[in-house]
Structure 1
Amino acid sequence: MFCGMKKLRIGVVGAGANTRLRHIPGLQAIEGVIVEVVCNRSEASSRSVAEAFSIPRIANVWQDVVADPDIDAICIGTWPYLHAPITIAALEAGKHVLTEARMAMNAGEGEAMLEASLNHPELVAQIVPSPFTLKWDATIKRILESGELGELRELSFSKALGMNVDSNAPLNWRQDRKLSGNNTLMLGIYYEVVQRWLGVEPERLLANGAVFTKQRRSGSGKELVDVEVPETIDVLAEYENGMRLSCHMTGVELGSGSDCYVIAGSKGTLRLDLKAGQLMKALLGGKESVVEPAAADVGDWNVEADFVNSIQKGDAIRLTNFEDGLAYMRFTDAAIKSLAEDSAWVSL
């Protein structure tokens, strides 16, 4: 276990938007933690981040950060294509790991990451969790455990974005299979929440999706490349107890769009409207009403503090451990496999 008297020195690899918004300031705000070195995609961008956050050093390649004997832990903020190689190398080098979501490019990489973490149980291995429902998670789990909704019949979520509407826009990293792997829109990050609430995986699923703009300019703008990652996707999954999960993710919708979860049971329904910031409950014979979480149940963003506490105090990682990360990677992989097989049912 990490000694509380010693400074915890963090190396940051990949300083994307969330890393700059959350991870670096979050870590720097914790007493005894020093963000010691940063490595971004170029020396210029690394230096820019270092100057913005008063980080003492930069590195030109991520391997130098992992090999640095003065670094205790690695914060990975790259796109998914580097999550597995950096994580595995860092764990083998004796360093704790906090990696940005999604876990990896695919379940195969996720399995390798989990194996590396199990080979080093003395080290903390954490994935940044899906944050959108943290305020209500404990309340929803309590309601589900109470049985007041009756037999669960259907759970659904939908998320509409406009990121893929403009056919003249270049390929973004989320559409680039070489950078994002099988991750599709926000399917994995929204499914992770379902898994968090239910604690079980579906038995099988099928998926249907489409790419409307078949080719886009590459990031460099020099050539047209095929678009492989779906611009819209629907997934239907079935659980052993007969419950269904219905997922709708689209990147081709402008306007206010949908952003919600619905849990329907034989005696009641929960509806979490993320745009309105409200959890609603309707029971048989009653009116729909707002559910306000008890103060003790309100969750919030504690990713960096949880990571440090796990290192210093040995607290178990809940949000999110590698086992749960692998589960949502299996779900995403199965959806991509179903698409490739003309929407065939795929077992998980």
Structure 2
Amino acid sequence: MDDLLTPAQAATQWGVSYATAARWAREGTIPALHVGRRYYYRQGTVDHVRRARTTGVAPYPNHCANAGVAMTMTWGAARSGTLLDREEWALTNAARTFDYLDYGKDSWSQDHHTAVKMAEASPGLAGQMLVHRKAREGVVDAVCHSFSQVIDLGCGLPTMRRAPHERGRVLWGSRARTVYVDHDLAALAAARAWWEHPAQVRGYNVRVLDLDLRFPETLVNALGEHLDLSVPVGVLSTLTLDHLQDEELAGLVEALAARLAPGSGWGVTHLSGMVGAAGVYTDQAREQGADTRLVARDSDGLRKVFKAAGWGRWRGLSPRESGGGEPPIAALTTLGTSTHPDRTDRASWTAPPERHL
């Protein structure tokens, strides 16, 4: 990444203003690295634009769209070198791969390659991901309507048309609190730039935490610092539990059941089956030395894990595609009173919230 030039350097070499250089990048005219609210350019891009200006041919719109890097990060992280200097940039990334499968925009060529191999191994994957978008919307709506405090485990890259904290703001006003959790560098940086920044959330309670779900005790302790866990809260995990081994998943579910108040709800989406895709992704990650994997599960197996930890009233929400095929797992479950006999159930999926507009 040593050939990256700052916006001021690129604009000076082109003989244009900083605003013009940023506009070209924002409109997709030329490839650039998007860091917070700034754009950075490769030397090759600068040379191309200089030649175009010298010959009188506009450098747009017929550029190579894949010649640059498209990824959102925070300026502070890029400036400190915590992202630019890491070798993980060359590895297949879970957040970017599933962003590509979910018809997002923040993915690279190595992620495309892995996603294509996954789809070849499991032909139903593309159909599941298409249905998953609608299923995820239903799960997020149900959780945000029922709880003013929401925890999004494994938030990933911002691709949803309306994020949970935005829905909570409309439904609950200043009472809404949202905590996003992830340990992926790209996802953290993007979430902090788009969701935690004061200009974006306008003073509402939004936090983005760098936590690994494989260490649930650390997770629940951190959540207690930002949320009132004595009252029911809503938990979201959309295409997140797929990346946990069975023992890691059981530990996470049990830890949250022990700490959250009865009546808390959990909205889940999970790929159904897809053994071939899971094997391809895990093998690819193992070859690269990446600390990630994909685990294939069915709805019954996932429900048993939650039921064993005290989560009951499993309510499936999986829509079926008109063309048939196995839909993704999408469900809502509520924490019962068995884990906290001295408390009462104070939340329901069907109870509408008091609106504060």
- Provide the TM-score with structure 1 as the length reference: 0.31
TM-score in terms of structure 2 length: 0.31
Relative contact order: is structure 1 or structure 2 higher (C-alpha 8 Å, sep ≥ 6)? 1
